[in-house]
Amino acid sequence: MRTVLMVAEKPSLAQSIAKILSKGSCTSRKGLNGACSVHEYMGSFMGQSVRFKMTSVCGHVMSLDFIGKYNNWDKVDPAELFSKAPTEKKEANPKLNMVKFLQVEAKGCDMVVLWLDCDKEGENICFEVLDAILPFMNKSYGSEKNIFRAKFSSITDTDICNAMNRLGEPNRNEALSVDARQELDLRIGCAFTRFQTKYFQGKYGNLDSSLISFGPCQTPTLGFCVERHDKIQSFKPETYWVIQAKVFKGKESPLTLDWERVRVFDREVGQMFVNIAKTSREARVESVSKKEKAKQRPLALNTVEMLRVASSALGMGPQHTMQIAERLYTQGYISYPRTETTHYPENFDLKGTLRQQANNPFWADSVKALLAEGLNRPRKGVDAGDHPPITPMRAASESELGSDGWRLYEYITRHFIATVSHDCKYLQTTIAFSIGTEAFSCTGKTLISAGFTEVMPWQGIPDEESLPACERGDAFTVDEVKLLEKQTNPPDYLTEAELITLMEKHGIGTDASIPVHINNICQRNYVTVESGRRLKPTNLGIVLVHGYYKIDAELVLPTIRSAVEKQLNLIALGKANYQQVLQHTLDIFKRKFHYFVDSIAGMDELMEVSFSPIADTGKPLSRCGKCHRFMKYIQAKPSRLHCSHCDETYSLPQNGAIKLYKELRCPLDEFELVLWTSGSRGKSYPLCPYCFSNPPFRDMKKGMGCNECTHPSCQHSLNSLGIGQCVECESGVLVFDPTSGPKWKMACNKCNVVVHFFEHAHKVQVSAESCDSCEASLVVVDFNKARSPLPGDETQHSGCVFCDPVFQDLVELKHATMRHPMHRGGQARRQGGRGRGRGRRIGGRGNPKRPKDKMAALAAYFV
């Protein structure tokens, strides 16, 4: 019997699709990587009985990067990254072992059906999957087709079954357009980023950004924000005057009239008109016009509109919105959330989609009325040829979706109902008055039928006080006529919604990447998100954009990136050559890069005005091993130490606190040690600032502290304080933290495992002797007399943390609270929670036989 392998983009999608296609009769098992499951069932395919195996990846299988030596910032000229530096595809997440997992599952399979997301990124992942599995699948017979592509827009029985019955082929051109974008962004972004980061961080101490990045899309995005900032700064308010008139008739409340001249910029002219109006004590009605008007129902919802509304109305950032939308999609509540289309296909089941919402108490009345009266034909939007508009796929409640999930789902549902509702109709009444020779008017609106605003009440016609009934020639009494002084106001900072509109208009990014670019400029500290989700540029963001304008405006203007996006779209359509577009674009940016490097002094002049030289920044902390003068600790990102006498800067670990370590010195270079800590519930370790940047031994890498130093005799090194292999990750060692008393602990020097032990002990030391059972270093503990667990009056005991029964209840494993990338090693395999309350006991099962693998021995005692 033949076997068909099916691959989806996410584990949850694979489960949902398998459940639909197998009608709930599939069996499931975990894959070898632990992250993906395999769902198996029997069925029919191409007229024959087959065994189906449904599994998934977790997004991209591969990522593009430079080969190893070109990732060294110190040894590679950034200019080489444009052409000389070779790139390679690497596993996107090596810990998932995704390639090996796919190859194991592909063995013995005859055909593959690709259920990846139906966009350009999805097509690219199709070919990443095929590259991994095709060499391991059974060879096809002759010209028999064995690769199939499923196209779908929602996780519903109908859509999935239709996709299975109409299988096509993956689109190589769309995949190539993604490859081109990845390579352009990598080469251009890395070259500019490396150069300007090294240049400016070496000169200025208070930039407060760990990376001064450049991106072909990210930088024009920042440019829009700074352009608005510049308009605000250059704005000069002007004083103007308006005439306000109030009139009344009988006992009715007065009407406030608008002046037909609107405003004047000369006070004396304004006063002249007031004086003319004041000669008359009555206001005469010149005309009364009534006009029925309609407020159009919205177009069908696409990604950009969803992001705009989520930011402006729901207060949710674009990145967060897309994460929630993807979750709602994979759970089957909404259709595919990445689309540029605002037109429903002719065969779209509008009535069936609407009927699913008939029992929701929030909009049931509106839905039932529409179903009874008949749906209104949706407005004709734009068919971009990708996916149908975003619509709800099944009914839901807040308890199912959670707060933010429900708010987004509610908006998507209300928007869909509105698209098949009637327009909002209202009567607009305008009364024109004359007071003396001056013309005034007032306008009022009266609702005729709410239409779509029943389900989108925030779009409704506000309740206004109705205008009095009158006819041409009627006279009203003038209550007052006065001159008001006002000033023109500057524009406000861009909102996220306005920025998204500008990016869409100028072709910067795609519906999928727009949230990423906005998130990047926030993460880099180029803009801050103010109240109302307005984006205010920081000093660094402003100086960078002004510098680009000064050197080469095309680096920040949207025009060049927009042209590149058009070329990438032509690759996707098969109308442009992948290699030619890639080479032509890289040649343009390579020339721009060389000119930028030669002209960097222009940007540097702007930096000097806004930022302090590195020598004038920071506070004295520890002594330099070369000149023995104090080095300054610069706390702003990236935190580092600078010796102004030697003019040397030394890197430090990030995302933690740095303090002097007992004025102790490194035996190799005489630099004073400093202590890095992530807080009381996290890890801490000493380090030598010089060794951290210049590894002293061959088996050490940049960025290693004393807890990884292989010095044979230093009292702070791994050799002196290392206890045993980590109980969770494969490469880490648990190292004793001598600064942690009286809440003593040891921590893994690779992952975020922390082991607390011997609380309130007077003293803890690591012995030179090893455990006979597991080879871990023994520890010598001097207990406090009042709290000693030892028999009699004994206070000192030497033993193995993992094997000694005396220590059984005194050792507890936890996970450090930290976000430093250096300490993520064991995260994929960890169990339990972070910090307090969910620790795990270690030890207490007696001494096992000596295993071949020390890691296995320690794991045997991890309860």
Strand partners, 285: 433
Q: What does the buried/exposed string (b/e) look like for 262-284 if buried means 16 or more CB atoms within 10 Å of the residue's CB?
A: eebeeeeebeebbeebbeeeebe
| Residues labelled as active-site residues | 336
Q: Residue 523 and residue 625: Cα distance in Å, rounded?
A: 35
Structure tokens at 377: 């034909």
Q: Kindly tell me the burial class for residue 701, based on how many C-beta atoms sit within 10 Å of its own C-beta (0-12, 13-18, 19 or more).
A: exposed
Q: Residue 672 and residue 306: Cα distance in Å, rounded?
A: 55
CB 43 within 8 Å of CB 50: yes
Q: Where are the beta strands (DSSP E) in 750-791?
A: 753-757, 763-770, 777-782
CB 104 within 8 Å of CB 3: no
Q: Kindly tell me the burial class for residue 303, based on how many C-beta atoms sit within 10 Å of its own C-beta (0-12, 13-18, 19 or more).
A: buried
- SS3 state at 186: helix
CB 170 within 8 Å of CB 127: yes
Please name which of 626, 300, 285, 325 lies closest in space to residue 473, comparing C-alpha atoms. Answer: 285
Q: Residue 250 and residue 254: Cα distance in Å, rounded?
A: 10
What percent of the residues of the chain are helix, what percent strand, and what percent coil, each to the nearest 5?
A: 35, 25, 40
CA–CA distances in Å: residue 603 to residues 369, 598, 616: 63, 11, 20
Q: Residue 48 and residue 29: Cα distance in Å, rounded?
A: 25
- SS3 state at 633: strand
Q: Kindly tell me the burial class for residue 100, based on how many C-beta atoms sit within 10 Å of its own C-beta (0-12, 13-18, 19 or more).
A: middle
Q: Residue 267 and residue 270: Cα distance in Å, rounded?
A: 5
Q: Residue 769 and residue 525: Cα distance in Å, rounded?
A: 50
Kindly tell me the sign of the dihedral angle through the C-alpha atoms of 845, 846, 852, 857: positive
Structure tokens at 116: 């990846």
Expressed in angstroms, the distance from the first to the final Cα of the chain is 45
Please name which of 120, 127, 99, 122 lies closest in space to residue 13, comparing C-alpha atoms. Answer: 122
CB 301 within 8 Å of CB 415: yes
Q: Residue 429 and residue 625: Cα distance in Å, rounded?
A: 84
Q: Residue 618 and residue 206: Cα distance in Å, rounded?
A: 9
Phi, psi of 628 (to 5 degrees): 60, 20
β pairing state of 796-799 and 811-815: unpaired
CB 161 within 8 Å of CB 21: yes
CB 282 within 8 Å of CB 490: no
CA–CA distances in Å: residue 823 to residues 4, 635, 653: 40, 21, 11
Q: Could you identify the residue written with the tokens 């020390």? A: 854
β pairing state of 37-45 and 475-487: unpaired
Q: Residue 795 and residue 785: Cα distance in Å, rounded?
A: 6
Nearest 10 degrees: CA dihedral of 727, 728, 731, 735? -50
Q: Residue 621 and residue 610: Cα distance in Å, rounded?
A: 25
Q: Residue 857 and residue 855: Cα distance in Å, rounded?
A: 5
- SS3 state at 20: helix
